[in-house]
Amino acid sequence: MTDNIPLQPVRHKKRHDNKRRDGCCPWSRCCGGGDFRPRTVWLGHPEKREQRYPRNVINNQKYNFFTFLPGVLFNQFKYFFNLYFLLLACSQFVNELRLGALYTYWVPLGFVLIITIVREAVEEMRCFLRDKEVNSQIYSKLSTRGTVKVKSSGIQVGDLIIVEKTFFPDFYHKGSCFLRTDQLDGETDWKLRLPVACTQRLPTAADLLQIRSFVYAEEPNIDIHNFIGTFTREDGDPPVSESLSIENTLWASTVIASGTVVGVVIYTGKELRSVMNTSNPRHKIGLIDLEVNCLTKILFGALVVVSLVMVALQHFAGRWYLQIFRFLLLFSNIVPISLRVNLDMGKMVFSWMIKKDSKIPGTVVRASTIPEQLGRISYLLTDKTGTLTQNEMVFRRLHLGTVAYGMDSMDEVQSHVFSAYTQPPHDLQASRAPGASKVRKTISSRVHEAVKAIALVHNVTPVYESNGVTDQAEAEQHYEDTCRVYQASSPDEVSLVQWTESVGLTLVGRDQSSMQLRTPSGQILNFTILQAFPFTYESKRMGIIVRDESTGEITFYLKGADVVMAGIVQYNDWLEEECGNMAREGLRVLVVAKKSLTVEQYQDFEARYVQAKLSVHDRSLKVATVIESLEMEMELLCLTGVEDQLQADVRPTLEILRNAGIKVWMLTGDKLETATCTAKNAHLVTRNQDIHVFRPVTTRSEAHLELNAFRRKHDCALVISGDSLEVCLKYYEYEFMELACQCPAIVCCRCAPTQKAQIVRLLQERTGKLTCAVGDGGNDVSMIQEADCGVGVEGKTVFSSVFYFASVPLYQGFLIIGYSTIYTMFPVFSLVLDKDVKSEVAMLYPELYKDLLKGRPLSFKTFLIWVLISIYQGKRILWLFYPMVRNKLHSVTELLSLACYIASLVFLHEFIEIFLIVTSCYLMNLTHVNKWNPPSYSKLTS
């Protein structure tokens, strides 16, 4: 039933840097693409649209039916390594250049291409099926014919949709509710969404179709934290207009907590915030492939030179230009096609070994084309929530200045709270007698005041559910503990309220104007919420003014970060020291204070506050000034310490990565204080390293000053917000990246998904190093796609079902690639199973990983040495074989030499080792790459 469901709106800030996102085809403008513009949307009347809007379909495929084969072939042959073999095979169609059967060239090449095409086809089909499943989801729509069913792909701008606990396109919804946005910004906390006031007086939801109303909304953009719009009802007398903000929206890829909402669709298809924050998938190629591609060009150049020399020795006689091509073909085995087969098969085995590794059970390799990238990673970029942390907050400490309570002494806090609400009045008088313990009375009252303040200063709402279905009408009457679930915009606040419940003071009810607490004796305390001041990034604090209905006392409670609360509370000599001690333990510290107000004081404040909220110019500044008039000489009550539990083995893992020479950057959509605490707690920032918190900057001059301040610090980790990062990259991209790459660790907070991908891309461009991105939610997909190697983990969040960066190929087929391919494949392929050191040794000495970062096994120097070795070996073989060819006895001598070799293995086994050492191995040792420069692991394996 949706008859009594209230309706709700939205707000978004206009982005001046919003980039044009054209469609993927030249006809995108005809399909509703082109430049994004504001729109007027009539409720329930999509036919009244003033412009064309894109269809509400999701398409994550890289190709379509017509572009699949050309696209796959282009991605293969745009590299010289593959193009070389294609030209080689095509040359055999010319009779004058043919050297053998066509299959000896085309079968190996065809095998490689078939593997690639099948792999891409499988991934495209999986992506198509996922898109089809999403586009075919059924929703309920309000229409003049009543409630009808409609597919997701059939939803249009202006439709009124009924939604229950599911994902959905961007819309305004009817009914206050909580939703989670972890797939957009990585935050798993519940966010409150409010209704449009003028629609709440309608008898039923169906009456929305009878009124004449519309929504004016800003143009689509990537900003998920802001919205600008208005709601207008024209058939009223007078007409009613309301402003819409982010508090009135429900974006796509968000989840509502419970109940049912009704909303008008504003954006669809590629105009969705979630789609605009997702980058297009790109074709990835491994670093080894690129290096081999470069070396192939060198070999081809050498091949051309040798061919010219051979023709020159013949004095360019006859059709010398044709002879050049023939020599090119004759010497083409210098770059054997079996090398490509070896690479593909080796990567397949590497992927299979990773999947079957018992030490990392459940691992799924979705990219068998780039597993070797894991051995060359220089930068690891990781999400925070659900990846480094479990996003489960646990209350750890209550500090009152003279006494502190940890997890092992919470029973003492509980006894103080119990005595405060259960001690009879005459016992309270007795406790004030001269002989009573003054210390005990003081501590008890201070504990009680602190717990009471923590139970009141928050934005938490208790919701009662029965068998998974909200039943407020019955469950809330009895405040059943088993049915209660806390919902809030911050998991920190939930942990605080859960802690007050554990010590005896329970939040049992709350709405926009009142709050109810239950004491240990079962008594219900009623408080009226007079004003509430939510937390903001600028203020770093939140407050609330409540009136105790039993006594009439008006109290202003405030909690916030120590850096701002230190100047608000009364003078004390312990706040700074204890905050530092708790922060070093990795705890999130909040300072709680209070101030008692008389009726006259509150009425004076309320009048000034209402007047400031009505201001047209500088409204936010005037409102903040009025609130700050209360924030003076407040009584310091306590400090609270909350710990965000880390994932298993996060600290030793980060330490191993750091010792291996890998720099770790944390990119998160969470708040600055939260990200900083997690960085300390996870030891992303070591204890002996300083942290530079980048000031919020909005202009070029501010960014210049802050960059200079940061430049003067050495071996210092950096913490920066997404907004400040955007300003720095706009004006000082090169300077900022130069400083950032010198930092031991970087923490970027309040990052949008596209910003995460932008940081990865800049790292790749500025450093030329390989990057790896790790995340667990849909907001991490863009970052994972952009990185050279992407890792998706199952963390706390709802895991995204769409990952574009990889595929799981199935290699099946019959290998007919000729004698040379098979003969040369297995000796080289056997190196896949080679191990320099044991895995235990590698984990014990992570510094060994630094050798891999240098890329010496495939450097130009190493390549040149092995080329010289191969020339030497070729000369020795030719020197032994040439007399047999000259005397035309090669067939007989081949059989004879084979028989002698077999006989020598049987009869001369005692001498064969010495012979090999003298004639072959010793000569090889003279030119061995690592003879004078042994690897760092040589001492560990000796």
* CA distance linking residue 16 with residue 20, whole number of Å: 11
Residue 780 annotated as binding? yes
Q: What percent of the chain has pLDDT over 70?
A: 78
- The band of 803, judged by pLDDT with boundaries at 50, 70 and 90, is very low
Residue 559 annotated as binding? yes
| Mean pLDDT (the chain, rounded) | 77
Residue 756 annotated as binding? yes
Q: Do 635 and 568 contact (CB within 8 A), yes or no?
A: no
Burial class (CB in 10 A: 0-12, 13-18, 19+), 216: middle
* CA distance linking residue 98 with residue 146, whole number of Å: 75
- pLDDT reading at 310 higher than 90: no
Q: What is residue 821's predicted lDDT score, i.e. its pLDDT? A: 52
Burial class (CB in 10 A: 0-12, 13-18, 19+), 526: middle
Higher-confidence position of 556 and 333: 556
What residues contact residue 288 under an 8 Å CB cut-off, 6+ apart? 343, 372, 858
The fold for domain 391-421+443-465+483-643 equals Calcium-transporting ATPase, cytoplasmic domain N (3.40.1110)
Residue 284 annotated as binding? no
* CA distance linking residue 91 with residue 84, whole number of Å: 11
- HSE, CB side, 13 Å, CA atoms: give it for residue 639: 29
Each domain of the chain, given as residue ranges in start order, spans 379-388+647-792, 391-421+443-465+483-643
- pLDDT reading at 855 higher than 80: no
- pLDDT reading at 797 higher than 60: no
Residues known to be catalytic: 383
Q: Residue 361 corresponds to which tokens in the numbers above?
A: 């059970």
Q: Do 709 and 734 contact (CB within 8 A), yes or no?
A: no
Q: Which helix (H) or strand (E) holds 115?
A: helix 103-135
* CA distance linking residue 296 with residue 318, whole number of Å: 30
Q: Which helix (H) or strand (E) holds 241?
A: strand 240-244
Q: What is residue 801's predicted lDDT score, i.e. its pLDDT? A: 25
| Three-state secondary-structure class, residue 227 | strand
What residues contact residue 178 under an 8 Å CB cut-off, 6+ apart? 190, 191, 192, 193, 256, 257, 258, 461, 463, 487
Model pLDDT for residues 358-409, shown as the tens digit of each residue: 888 888 777 777 888 888 889 999 988 778 888 778 899 999 988 999 988 8
Q: What is residue 593's predicted lDDT score, i.e. its pLDDT? A: 95
| Three-state secondary-structure class, residue 489 | coil
Residue 168 annotated as binding? no
Q: What is residue 841's predicted lDDT score, i.e. its pLDDT? A: 82
Q: Which helix (H) or strand (E) holds 487?
A: strand 484-487
Q: How large is the angle between the packed helices 287-313 and 80-91, nearest 10 degrees?
A: 40
First to last CA, the chain: 76
Burial class (CB in 10 A: 0-12, 13-18, 19+), 774: buried
Tell which residue, 510, 551, 511, 559, has the closest CA to residue 534.
Answer: 559
Q: What is residue 683's predicted lDDT score, i.e. its pLDDT? A: 87
CATH of 379-388+647-792, picked from 2.60.40.10, 3.90.1150.10, 3.90.1580.10, 3.40.50.1000, is 3.40.50.1000
Residue 48 annotated as binding? no
> Which residues in 341-434 belong to E strands, given as ranges?
377-382, 389-399, 404-405
| Cis bond before residue 238 (omega within 30° of 0) | yes
